[in-house]
Chains A and B, each alone.
Chain A
Amino acid sequence: MSSGFPLLSLIIWLPILAGVAVLATGGDRNAQMARYLALAGSLAGLLVALPLYSGFDPLLGSMQFVEHHPWIERFNIHYHLGVDGIAMPLILLNCFTTPLVVLAGWQVISNRVSQYMGAFLIMSGIVNGVFSSLDAILFYVFWEASLIPMFLIVGIWGGPNRVYAAIKFFLYTLLGSLLMLVAFIYLYTTSGGSFAILDYHKLPLPLAPQILIFIAFLLAFAVKVPMWPVHTWLPDAHVEAPTGGSVVLAAILLKLGGYGFLRFSLPIVPDASQYLSGMMITLSLVAVVYIGLVALVQADMKKLIAYSSVSHMGFVTLGFFLFNAYGVEGAMVQMVSHGFISAAMFLCVGVMYDRLHSRQIADYGGVANKMPVFAAFFMLFAMANSGLPGTSGFVGEFMVIMGAMQVNFWYAFLAATTLIFGAAYTLWMYKRVVFGAVANPAVEALQDINRREILILAILAAAVLWMGVYPLPLTEVMHTTVDELLAHVARGKL
């Protein structure tokens, strides 16, 4: 369905303009105004994104809500937007997360509020742009631009080692994306002067260049996902980032990498993807199993959740490279569900950090005695993180394991170990933090969560449960797109 109304442009530019407006409120004298403006802007961003779901035709395989205008004629670059069943849920996820992030930083951030809120709103718009671009350069522009706000968020409002983390984050991701840029320009030259992603999908390519392009893409997306062994920036960035930064990083920015595989690697270089699928599956399984073990021994809660993110994202890349419907759809579900769960987990840690200013597991104990409401929410999310049936965490992992089973028993076996490790590290942490006797006087003084925090966590809890019980609204919109993608990959280009 393609109406004349530029819905996608609105979804991209409304948050950005709102962000600029928030920035314009200036110094901390107007902090309260900045907060309300940011909340209004992010809610408006969510509101305008809703027609994307209601107006989406799930039976249509082609791009919808297409907008197409020439932009830089000199290089045949177009302002070309459109979404399919893969991009649309991710845009909604992003628009859904932004108001939560704004709320989460409501009281905690008292320093340069307008810049903080503005940065998140602008990033939200930019990320929507990444998910809806159909022109390689437009995509690249949004992709890189999303680094700038995140770099500032980590660097300005982060923890003690924030500068190191921010610069590492930036340079790591920049390295990957620059090679992707070279691949784009190469494709531009081979395709006879086109930057249209959909043209690249049809462009025939021999295996050798396909492999090189695959590697260039892999570097960009693997860093972003992040896959083992290029994941090391993530724990640093997460630990140092403010809560809102961690939430966006885990819930949204990691999805950019996963999305990249589906939009670029698989359709543009299908044969190389199949040729190298063994390597990709191995790397994914290493992430699932090994990083799961690494998470087990973490003493810092945020680090633990960061490693758990890497492990869960391993499921996503595993699902992609199984080349069957269960795998790819399961991976998509996993991405969305991880968006909810990791956001919730980081928010829970944030709630405790705001009160005690420590992320060390050892500093807590017996939190349930003082914060019963919070402990209940945290319990739900911890269960979801370990993949309990009935929560969204289960659906994606189960689908991917089923997909893996169709390919190879041992893939499925290794992937399934996560159900044990995931439960082990999450619940063990939960036990040490929440249960037991009150460990120290600081915990004794804890106040339970206020209404604002309950609201945020309740919304996420509802989302986690709803997706765990009834994931159909999500899977049905991606069916056609995933089927077409898989058929395209199976045809190959040779």
Chain B
Amino acid sequence: MNFLPPDLAPAYPEIFLLVMVCVVLLADLVAGEKRRYLAYLLAQAALLGCALITFFTLAPGTTYTFSGMFVDDAMADTLKLLTYVTVSMVLVYSRDYIAVRGMFNGEFFSLTLFATLGMMVMISASHFLTLYLGLELLSLSLYAMVALRRDSVAATEAAMKYFVLGALASGFLLYGMSMVYGATGVLNIAQVAEMIQKVIQGGVIDDYAILVVGLVFIVAGISFKLSAAPFHMWAPDVYQGAPTAVVLFIGSAPKLAAFGFVMRLLVEGMGSMAADWQGMLIILAVMSMIIGNLAAIAQTNIKRMLAYSTISHMGFMLLGIVSADGNGYSSSMFYMVVYVLMTLGIFGMIMLLSREGFEAEKIDDFKGLNRRNPWYAFITLLLMFSLAGVPPLVGFYAKLAVLQAVLNAGYVWLAVVAVLFSLVGAFYYLRIIKLMYFDEPESDAPILPSGDVKLLISANGLAVLAFGLFPQALMALCAYAIQQST
């Protein structure tokens, strides 16, 4: 038998990262208690290295490797680069927070990097098994991260819930995939797409029914991972219970990977069944917007509130996919990127307000921030108005792009529903602004972040404004990534 070694080039970033994870683990072991900083620096270096590799191996067109199980295309490159930036920002924001809470050790960084590796595999998967592999690598790392503070009851409970429901979702997904495999006999995404086409053209009714059943399970699995209603139950508990640094991570980068996941499965794999999944996604999107926005109003814990806000944003993002054309996908991608940017900022701010022995978890902890520090209040104001979708902040263009795609696809009523519920959403974001600006502070503890955190959070907030004034570049990037890949 003739053995040909696979072309490793498209997977260089993944390979590099894997090596680096091992280096981080070993270095941490050797460095000992005193030099924990090493792990942090190595993790950042690993991300930088990945970014450089991805950047310098950018190539037009699509390359497959590992017998078509792994793909490198414009969408993968874009999402990966964004993921590196996001994870790197997460590490900066988290550093001080985890340091005072006894989590500043090799495990945190190696788990983060493992999860990042999982995301990269998901993004680049062109085979159901690769996709699943990446997803599980990501999920298992996240379960462990949530439970990282093993003496915290809330965190352990959150981890348990996350694990049980996540495992259930993975089961759904696998079951759906097995149905599709049963109907088509293949697992490679491109081949699956071809076979579905044949099934449709051949008019084989039985096979098509099986495909639809499989699709239902796949969509259910996806919405678990996206935390779209009615599969959202885990999100509020995990957001509330897990350490904020971990929530920041869960809420940011994996959303980018989840977007890639949706694109690979639904669009590339089962794009010819769009008529079927559109209906399902509409229900998910509308339910998410309703439940997310209404439930968020009642929350007094800011992390829980943001969990519901995430649910509603995921609903909005799904609307772009509902329109089922390149325009819609790129608007969804833009929405996701913008969402991640805003999430980073707001959780970064929560960690900034927390200090040793104090978690800024209640929305009341934002009271009078304008008195305590007008600059951070202003940054939070930008983030909140952006989340609410008020121009001239970037959150508005994200909503604009999605609404345009939805109206273009002819769903006027859906656009009106989306708009009305974003009005409801505006209320709870405004409440945070109200607390910051109109109320008197409850504590006057000084806010003393490290220099780089100060810089990054300012840049993060101002980016929301800058991308709002000049959204063209980011929009064009998303449009390019989608256009090249579909």
Binding site for B on A (CB under 8 A): 26-27, 71-75, 112, 115, 137, 140-141, 144-145, 147-148, 151-152, 155-156, 162-163, 166-167, 170-171, 174-175, 178-179, 181-182, 185-186, 188-189
11 pairs, A vs B, C-beta closer than 8 Å? A73-B476, A74-B475, A74-B479, A75-B475, A156-B438, A162-B438, A171-B426, A174-B426, A182-B403, A185-B403, A186-B407
Residues of chain B within 8 A (CB-CB) of A140 are 391
Cross-interface CB contact of A179 among B419, B433, B471, cutoff 8 Å? B419
Q: How far is the CB of A51 from chain B (nearest CB, A)?
A: 26
Contact (Cβ within 8 A) A155 B404: no
Cross-interface CB contact of A155 among B374, B391, B397, B438, cutoff 8 Å? B438
A155-B437, A170-B426 are known; give 10 further A-B pairs, CB within 8 A: A74-B472, A144-B390, A144-B392, A148-B385, A151-B430, A162-B438, A174-B423, A185-B407, A185-B415, A186-B412
Residues of chain A within 8 A (CB-CB) of B479 are 74
Residues of chain A within 8 A (CB-CB) of B412 are 182, 186
Residues of chain A within 8 A (CB-CB) of B437 are 152, 155-156
Residues of chain B within 8 A (CB-CB) of A71 are 470, 472
Contact (Cβ within 8 A) A181 B390: no
Residues of chain B within 8 A (CB-CB) of A75 are 400-401, 404, 475
B86 within 8 A of A: no
Binding site for A on B (CB under 8 A): 370, 374, 385, 390-392, 396-397, 400-401, 403-404, 407-408, 412, 415-416, 419-420, 422-423, 426-427, 430-431, 433-434, 437-438, 470-472, 475-476, 479
Residues of chain A within 8 A (CB-CB) of B401 are 74-75
Q: How far is the CB of B387 from chain A (nearest CB, A)?
A: 14
Query: Once the chains are docked, how many angstroms separate the CA of A78 from the CA of B4?
Result: 54
Main secondary structure on chain A at its contact with chain B? helix
Q: How far is the CB of A286 from chain B (nearest CB, A)?
A: 26
Contact (Cβ within 8 A) B472 A144: no
With known contacts A167-B427, A189-B408, A178–B385 Cβ distance under 8 A? no
Q: How far is the CB of B483 from chain A (nearest CB, A)?
A: 11
Nearest-neighbor residue (CB-CB) of A141 within chain B: B391
With known contacts A75-B404, A171-B426, A188-B404, A182–B396 Cβ distance under 8 A? no
Contact (Cβ within 8 A) B434 A155: yes
Cross-interface CB contact of B423 among A156, A175, A189, cutoff 8 Å? A175
Q: How far is the CB of B372 from chain A (nearest CB, A)?
A: 12
Contact (Cβ within 8 A) B407 A166: no
Query: Once the chains are docked, how many angstroms separate the CA of A140 from the CA of B415?
Result: 17
Nearest-neighbor residue (CB-CB) of A137 within chain B: B400
Contact (Cβ within 8 A) A163 B391: no
Query: Once the chains are docked, how many angstroms separate the CA of A115 from the CA of B370?
Result: 10
Residues of chain A within 8 A (CB-CB) of B416 are 179, 182
Nearest-neighbor residue (CB-CB) of A216 within chain B: B416
Q: How far is the CB of A139 from chain B (nearest CB, A)?
A: 10
Residues of chain B within 8 A (CB-CB) of A72 are 397, 471-472, 475
Residues of chain B within 8 A (CB-CB) of A145 are 390-392
Residues of chain B within 8 A (CB-CB) of A186 are 407, 412
Query: Once the chains are docked, how many angstroms separate the CA of A27 from the CA of B408?
Result: 49
Nearest-neighbor residue (CB-CB) of B374 within chain A: A115
Which 7 A-B residue pairs are closest in the complex by CB-CB distance? A141-B391, A74-B475, A178-B419, A155-B438, A144-B391, A72-B472, A185-B407
Q: How far is the CB of A316 from chain B (nearest CB, A)?
A: 26
Contact (Cβ within 8 A) A74 B438: no
Residues of chain A within 8 A (CB-CB) of B385 are 148
Query: Once the chains are docked, how many angstroms separate the CA of A356 from the CA of B403?
Result: 51
Residues of chain A within 8 A (CB-CB) of B415 are 182, 185
Query: Once the chains are docked, how many angstroms separate the CA of A137 from the CA of B392?
Result: 10
Query: Once the chains are docked, how many angstroms separate the CA of A147 from the CA of B381?
Result: 13
Query: Once the chains are docked, how many angstroms separate the CA of A330 from the CA of B312?
Result: 47
Q: How far is the CB of B438 from chain A (nearest CB, A)?
A: 4
Residues of chain A within 8 A (CB-CB) of B475 are 72, 74-75
Residues of chain A within 8 A (CB-CB) of B430 are 151, 167, 170-171
Contact (Cβ within 8 A) B390 A148: yes
